[in-house]
Amino acid sequence: MAPDRGRPSHIWTHRRDMKSVEPRDGVRVNCEAPSGVTRSGRPAGLGDKRMLGVDVRKDVRTVLALGLAVVGPVSLALLLMLNSRGPNAAMRSSEMVTYALVLAASVFVYFHWRMVGVAPSQGSRRLAGWLTVALLAASLQKLGQVAMIDPVPAVWRDFWPLVSQTVILVVLIAMTYLAARVDVPRDPALLGAIGGLLLTGGTIVVLRFTDPSLPSRTGIQLLNALMLLAGVMLAWTIWQRTHVSAKVRGQLALAAVLLTLAQSLAHLDTHNRWVVTLAVVANFQGALVLLTLSQSLLRSSILGHQDELMMLQETLAKARADVLEERELLHEVGSTVAGITTASRVMSQDSRLTHERRQRLEQMLTAELARLDRLMTSRHPEPARVIDVSEVVEPLVTSHRERGLDVQWTPQELHAVGDPDDLAEVVNILLENARRHGGQTVLLEVSDSDGYVEVTCSDNGPGIADEVRPQLFDSGARRSDSPGQGLGLSIAQRLMSECGGSLELADSVRPGL
More confident residue, 248 or 345: 248
Name the nearest CA neighbour of 286 among 81, 87, 72, 71: 71
Which CATH entry fits the domain spanning 8-46+333-505: 3.30.565.10, 3.40.50.1370, 3.10.20.740, 3.40.50.2300? 3.30.565.10
pLDDT at 60 over 60: no
More confident residue, 279 or 212: 279
What are the CA-CA distances from residue 100 to residues 106, 107, 108, 249, 309 (Å)? 10, 11, 13, 22, 34
Of all residues in the chain, the percent with pLDDT exceeding 90 is 3
Domain ranges of the chain: 8-46+333-505, 73-313
Of all residues in the chain, the percent with pLDDT exceeding 70 is 70
C-alpha span between 436 and 303 (Å, rounded): 52
Decide: 361 and 347 in contact? Cβ < 8 Å.
Answer: yes
pLDDT average, residue stretch 191-217: 75
CATH number of 73-313: 1.20.1070
Q: What is the pLDDT of residue 33?
A: 31
What's at 473, amino acid-wise? Answer: F
φ, ψ for residue 111, nearest 5 deg? -65, -35
pLDDT at 493 over 90: no
Query: What pLDDT, in 10s, does the model give residues 247-300?
Result: 888 989 999 999 989 888 877 765 677 787 888 888 888 888 998 888 888 888
pLDDT average, residue stretch 47-57: 38
Q: What is the pLDDT of residue 305?
A: 79
C-alpha span between 323 and 21 (Å, rounded): 28
**Long-range contacts from 507-510, C-beta under 8 angstroms, 24+ separation:** 507/24, 507/25, 508/23, 508/24, 508/25, 508/26, 508/458, 508/463, 509/24, 510/24, 510/458, 510/460
Q: What is the pLDDT of residue 149?
A: 56
**What residues pair up with 441 in beta bridges, in sequence order?**
406
Mean pLDDT of the residues in the chain? 72
Least confident of 154-158, 336-340, 395-399, 475-479: 154-158
pTM, rounded to two decimals: 0.54
More confident residue, 463 or 187: 187
Query: What pLDDT, in 10s, does the model give residues 387-412?
Result: 888 888 888 888 888 888 888 888 88
